[in-house]
Amino acid sequence: MIDEILQGAGLIKGRTYIQTVFKQPPSVPFAVYHDDADTSLSADETVNLIEHSIRLEFYAPNKPNPATEKAIERELKAHALHYRKEGRVWLESERYYMTIYEFYYIEKETTP
């Protein structure tokens, strides 16, 4: 689902968004997400539900990028996800604006 959200917001997997960390951050606005997945949820004594707790960090070099922030928010709403948005902060040492979104969702694991 995270790919659908970020690609729907106009970001490109591997180029303008990635899981965990970029080795070399791009010079354009980009996102990094952290997925703390918990597969301990179960039904009928089988583990078939995965709860994803997502922390999405959106970075904009040198100036804010409200258009992409709004696109991310639009996609979160379109997927009926409740999210918490932390305020935009300036990271002086990195020269980036950072906006953090936190949300979670549960998916049913598909069996082959």
Q: Rounded to 5 degrees, what angle do the CA atoms 21, 101, 55 make?
A: 45
The pTM of this model reads 0.88
CA dihedral 96, 26, 83, 43 (to 10 degrees): -140
User: What's the pLDDT band for 107 if we cut at 50, 70, 90?
Assistant: confident
Cα distances (angstroms) measured from residue 105 to each of 23, 24, 37, 80 = 28, 29, 10, 10
One-letter amino acid of 68? T
Give the single-character DSSP code of 100.
E
Which tens digits make up the pLDDT trace of 39-78? 765 656 676 788 899 999 999 999 999 999 999 999 999 9
Query: Domains, the chain, ranges and CATH?
Result: 2-108 (3.30.2000)
Which tens digits make up the pLDDT trace of 85-104? 998 999 999 899 999 999 99
Query: What's the farthest any 2 CA atoms get from each other in the chain?
Result: 52
Q: Which of 92, 63, 71, 82 is nearest to 17 (CA)?
A: 71
Sign for the CA dihedral angle at 75, 81, 87, 93 comes to negative
Q: What is the pLDDT of residue 9?
A: 97
Distance CA 72, CA 59 (A): 12
